């Protein structure tokens, strides 16, 4: 069965979670992952206050790492990736409908999946291509494929922003991993020094893979920061293998 493969390098990266903000704290977490703090919020000082007030907690996490990683670059294609997106806002809107209350236009506008990407574009007056993606349990892999496609189109850099939060309690019985509040970003460039590789194919390898309690996005971040040689996942009949050169 055929296997697809792509490679890229990371020129810059940033990550934020409650209680884990510095580079040293993230490296320590990568060696010994632990639950993040229950409280905390990014300052998002780089965004104009009028727009910053519109962003919810999930959006602030995404925008904080997007600003840090982009480092003032303009005309930068961006891929925003969240498995669940603003699901808490969506649940609140549906609850309003059930109670017969009018919907908040602002709440609705900020519940759509590309809300954070839109705020980032508006705040920077940047008309570069941006998109928002969700693809279930393999969202992060599909986001990397999309970003690499933009690199293959000739873009010298692509910003990937990955973020998610705890699910509302109404979805607790469907949760398949320990969701945590987090966001990270990579400034991706064509494969050069210390490239990462992603291979995938349909079907199972027959290998006994360790079950991950971490969300896929955090498992990938741990792989990147820890220097591990491989990360393998099987999701919905597809095998994904992350690796780096020895």
What is residue 209's predicted lDDT score, i.e. its pLDDT? 58
Provide the b/e sequence for 153-186 (b: ≥16 CB within 10 Å). Answer: eebebbbbbbbbbbbeeeeeeeeebebbbbbbbb
Q: How far is CA 51 from CA 54, 124, 159, in A?
A: 5, 11, 21
Please return the burial class of 194, using the count of CB atoms within 10 Å of its CB with bins 0-12, 13-18 and 19+.
exposed
CA distance 117 to 124: 11
- Our count of domains for the chain comes to 1
Please return the burial class of 24, using the count of CB atoms within 10 Å of its CB with bins 0-12, 13-18 and 19+.
exposed
What is residue 119's predicted lDDT score, i.e. its pLDDT? 93
Domain CATH code at residue 137:
3.40.47.10
What is residue 208's predicted lDDT score, i.e. its pLDDT? 53
Task: Record the tokens describing residue 109, joined without a space.
Answer: 């506008």
Cβ proximity of 77 and 129 under 8 Å: yes
- The boundaries of the domain holding residue 224 are 4-244
- pTM of the shown model: 0.92
What is residue 206's predicted lDDT score, i.e. its pLDDT? 63
Q: Which pairs count as long-range contacts for 90-96, CB under 8 Å and 24+ apart, including other chains? A: 91/168, 91/170
CB neighbours of residue 48 within 10 Å: 11
Would you give per-residue pLDDT tens digits along the chain (246 residues)? 568 999 999 999 999 999 999 999 999 999 999 999 988 999 999 999 999 998 999 999 999 999 999 999 999 999 999 999 888 888 888 887 888 888 777 777 778 889 999 999 999 999 899 999 999 999 999 999 999 999 999 999 999 999 999 888 887 888 778 889 999 999 999 999 899 999 999 877 665 555 668 899 999 999 999 999 999 999 888 999 999 987
Task: Record the tokens describing residue 115, joined without a space.
Answer: 């809300």
Task: Record the tokens describing residue 92, joined without a space.
Answer: 């609140």
Nearest partner of 160 among 6, 24, 11, judged by Cα = 11
Query: Which helix (H) or strand (E) covers residue 14, if one does?
Result: strand 4-16
Q: Under DSSP, is residue 203 helix (H, G, I), strand (E, B) or coil?
A: coil
What is residue 112's predicted lDDT score, i.e. its pLDDT? 87
């Amino acid at each position: 069965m055929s296997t697809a493969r792509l490679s890229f390098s990371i020129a810059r990266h940033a990550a934020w979670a409650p209680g884990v903000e510095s580079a040293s704290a993230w490296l320590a977490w990568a060696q010994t992952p632990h639950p993040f703090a229950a409280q905390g919020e990014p300052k998002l000082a780089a965004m104009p206050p009028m727009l910053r007030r519109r962003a919810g907690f999930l959006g602030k996490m995404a925008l904080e790492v997007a600003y840090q990683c982009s480092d003032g670059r303009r005309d930068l294609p961006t891929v925003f990736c969240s498995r669940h997106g603003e699901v808490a806002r969506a649940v609140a809107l549906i609850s309003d409908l059930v109670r017969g209350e009018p919907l908040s236009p602002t709440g609705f506008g900020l519940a759509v999946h590309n809300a954070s990407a839109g705020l980032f574009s508006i705040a920077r007056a940047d008309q570069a291509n941006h998109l928002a993606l969700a693809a279930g349990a393999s969202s992060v892999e599909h986001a990397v494929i999309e970003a690499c496609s933009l690199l293959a189109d000739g873009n010298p850099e692509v910003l990937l922003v990955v973020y998610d939060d705890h699910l509302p309690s109404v979805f607790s019985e469907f949760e398949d991993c320990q969701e945590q509040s987090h966001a990270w970003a990579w400034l991706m460039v064509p494969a050069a020094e210390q490239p990462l590789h992603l291979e995938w194919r349909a079907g199972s390898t027959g290998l006994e893979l360790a079950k991950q309690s971490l969300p896929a996005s955090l498992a990938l971040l741990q792989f990147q920061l820890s220097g591990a040689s491989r990360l393998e996942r099987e999701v919905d009949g597809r095998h994904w293998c992350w690796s780096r050169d020895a």
